[in-house]
Structure 1
């Protein structure tokens, strides 16, 4: 059930579409709102209708293709999302499309492909925290802790989310003998969100497996 605020946002966007039916951005904004609210069938229908309506506008086409990719990714349909993201050819969207392609490959545990697309996404966006976090996540998943540390440290210049700080703590623990949970990154997350820290501690078991596998 949609909240009152969401219902109002939907109504506002629908009114804007009625008043200016040629503004494709409003259609896209409505699609993203529907996806956020998990109204996936409605979002899919509107995305497909919008793609047809604005098919002669290359920028609009790219935007709605990207939106379809987001819908598929959100529904964990990563293998289907990847070729859709690769259709996006608007230069303004290509960084995001490369990043989402990398995210999709990462979700499929195809780390070499994920790294390649994330690295491409980083071109011209060397300080982007989302891109650097993903590069760090990929390197962490493959057990390359020193490389993961470098990417996370770059991401931390512009982002201090609990997940990022905790992952940096995992790297710190992995690089220290004994994998201690006593480091400044874990302490920071523990202070900011104790519940998140407790739920995320199970990741520490994974790092032990990664290190063991890399050594063997």
Structure 2
């Protein structure tokens, strides 16, 4: 049996188990969340959305138990690139254990919409609330790159790399900073290529964006 067929079969078995968990615990919000999150991972977005909405109705009179479901539904919308809808769901989350993650997802949603100031504000708030600050720091680095502030971008990417030396996103970000600063020997890009060539290839479009940005800045400087 081919690997893809085996993976599909395993996914179907996992779904059956998660559905059985919901059936056995129809008033456990975490059972719904686990199933919905798995469907989201499989990119079965319509099914995941329907499940989370149904689960929200189950706990209609218990709003404190809806938080994890709003968070799950927000992730469905985010993965579907429905960023405004995702933000609406994340805004509803009040649970202290989920708030930091919800703020981070809101920051990512605003970043995806190129609303960098709001993205930065929510990323900073998330960083204050999350135990692991790596995702927020990486996002802030990317936001500062988008804003053309490479000094602050470097600061946040270095925070990540100092703790996680092989973090691909932060290493690539530092490569972008070196590119912006005109450094020829870009060791960060070399390291990313060595660690994960496929990741580097996916990110190459960002290189073109930075090069266009630098060309525009150079043209502005010439006009001055």
- State whether TM-score is above 0.5: yes
What residue is the counterpart of 1:109 in the other structure? Answer: 114
Aligned CA-pair RMSD: 2.1
Residue pair 2:154, 2:173 contacting (<8 A) in 1 also: no
What residue is the counterpart of 1:161 in the other structure? Answer: 167
What residue is the counterpart of 1:191 in the other structure? Answer: 194
Note the 1:101-140 alignment, pairs <5 A: 101-125=106-130, 128-140=133-145
CA positional deviation for 1:85: 1.1
Residue pair 1:170, 1:204 contacting (<8 A) in 2 also: yes
Match of 1:94 among 92, 95, 99: 99
Structure 2 residue runs without a partner (length 5+): none
Report runs of 4+ in structure 1 exceeding 6 Å deviation: none
CA positional deviation for 1:214: 4.8
TM-score (norm 2): 0.86
Deviations 1:44-73 (A, max 9, x none): 111011001022333321111111111111
What residue is the counterpart of 1:5 in the other structure? Answer: 10
TM-score (norm 1): 0.89
Give the structure with the higher percent helix.
2
CA positional deviation for 1:191: 1.2
Structure 1 residue runs without a partner (length 5+): none
Residue pair 1:17, 1:26 contacting (<8 A) in 2 also: yes
Task: Give the secondary structure class of the aligned counterpart of 1:150.
Answer: helix
CA positional deviation for 1:3: 0.8
Structure 2 distance, partners of 1:168, 1:126, is 23
Residue pair 1:127, 1:154 contacting (<8 A) in 2 also: no
